[in-house]
Amino acid sequence: MQLTVWTYEGPPHVGAMRIAASMRGLHYVLHAPQGDTYADLLFTMIERRDTRPPVTYTTFKAQDLGADTAEIFKIACRDAVERFQPEAIIVGASCTAELIQDDPAGLAAALALPIPVIPLELPSYSKKENWGAAETFYRLVRTFAAAAQPKTVRSMRPAGERSCNLLGPTSLGFRHRDDIVEVRKLVEGLGVAVNLVAPLGASPSDLARLPEADFNVVLYPEIASTAADWLKRNHGQPFVSIPPIGVGATAEFLTAVAELAGVPPPAAAPTNLRMPWYSRSIDSTYLTGKRVFIFGDATHAVAAARIAADELGFVVCGLGTYSREFARDVRAAAAHHGVEPLISDDHLAVEDAIIAAQPELILGTQMERHVAKRLRIPCAVISAPVHVQDFPARYSPQMGHEGANVLFDSWVHPLMMGLEEHLLGMFRDDFEFNDTVAPSHLGHSTAPAGVAPDESTLVVLDRPVAWSGDAEKELRKIPFFVRGKARRNTERFAAERGLHTITIETLYDAKAHYSR
């Protein structure tokens, strides 16, 4: 067993908690010891919710293990139903409580509660968070959208009158809140009504309305593909499973939805779609060929690779996922981009792969953001797990046409803008801007007579200070218009400390000193 300090996914009961926190009228009774209540912070601190997730913990203690922990669970169930009065409850055990084998499902069934009880069997030591969320959503759909007689084919409404369900968005999902708004605009723009969004914002009783739609739209396969497959087998509902992330994928998504709706796809892109023009502009084309390493959940990683290569002109030098259940999709995408796929939930293995690939941009999770910071490589977050800054107050979708605009800004801006870099390179050694000469507007290459130097910038040395080759090379990376000041500050810093050779470390120590 490997000790994990950082992990891309929590245990499956955290996935079940995400579903409970996403829905209305659903409560989760979790058999868990005191330490497992940490999960509340994921929602209140990271997602910035103004309420606690709808979870009741049994919070048994060590001394309770010698008594009746099963009775503690039964009391917690009764109290939760009486206090919160939910439409339904889901029951299960955390990874720690699983070891004492109290059987929450059997205990809850024996209570004969007046509301539906959905037992969850989530193997904590072989499955992860996204699987737990998918399994929980599937169990809820099976319970509340059960078919009296399964049918694999259904009669659809006339073209132009059809509706769909949007499946997959959850609490703690990466930009799910804003993606729903954008996707709703897309489908309603085709004349397709949205019957239900689930699980986010739905109640258990709402799930009974899922079969009323003509087809389903799976936005996040990691969460909703299992439920969508069941709805297709039992209610004959076809589904679209093309996440509309990026310009090309959004166009394909609209075509697929239009086909199921029996309407023509849009003839032209909307006027608010700015990414294609921006990516063709001179400033952006200068970035063509930048090497990018991509890692995240399968949905966002595969989409990011397509956008990077086909829409921004980057070169994909690494592609991977921690979503083992969707490894086949990532392997196929990696083969298309000519790279070796990385299927791993070990953040240290991902860091090693990044170092080996030597990218100029990293698109990943909050784990890769930390790696990028250490390696001083530009980075943008594209996938969960994320931190608080990735739940912005502003509207910031990843899907649809506005999502494409957001992606352009998020990915390109961490890189030095092409025109800026081009100008710095053009004028770095120009006679007028070179830091070894005086400004041209003062005359020639020397300062005019009668102008006293600023004593605050003078450096008095007992002996000359030498610059190492690496330090000089690093100094040349500083923009020409501030390079002279950086040189003087560094030499003063070295002189005050009796240093006779300036290294890269001295340069950065001086920078830190004068930045205080």
Annotated binding site: 36, 418-419
The answer to whether 97 touches 12, Cβ cutoff 8 Å, is: no
Phi then psi dihedrals of residue 437, to 5 deg: -120, 165
- Cα(159)–Cα(258) distance, rounded to whole angstroms? 10
- Cα(225)–Cα(329) distance, rounded to whole angstroms? 13
Beta bridge partners of 361: 292
How many angstroms from the chain centroid is the CA of residue 161?
35
Single-letter residue type at 421: E
- Cα(271)–Cα(399) distance, rounded to whole angstroms? 16
Of 250, 265, 266, 278, give the one whose Cα is nearest residue 409: 278
Angle, alpha carbons 207-210-214 (nearest 5°)? 175
Pinpoint the alpha helices (H) of 33-126. Answer: 40-41, 69-84, 104-110
Annotated catalytic, 390? no
Q: Pairing mode, if any, of strands 117-119 and 88-93? A: parallel
Task: Enumerate residues 6+ apart whose C-beta is below 8 A from 327.
Answer: 298, 321, 341, 343
Angle, alpha carbons 308-310-313 (nearest 5°)? 65
Count the Cβ atoms, other than its own, within 10 Å of residue 45. 11
The annotated binding site for substrate is made up of 418-419
Of 241, 249, 203, 246, give the one whose Cα is nearest residue 224: 241
- Cα(33)–Cα(28) distance, rounded to whole angstroms? 15
- Cα(212)–Cα(205) distance, rounded to whole angstroms? 13
Active-site choice (40, 64, 103, 283): 283
- Cα(308)–Cα(111) distance, rounded to whole angstroms? 54
* Residues tagged active-site: 283
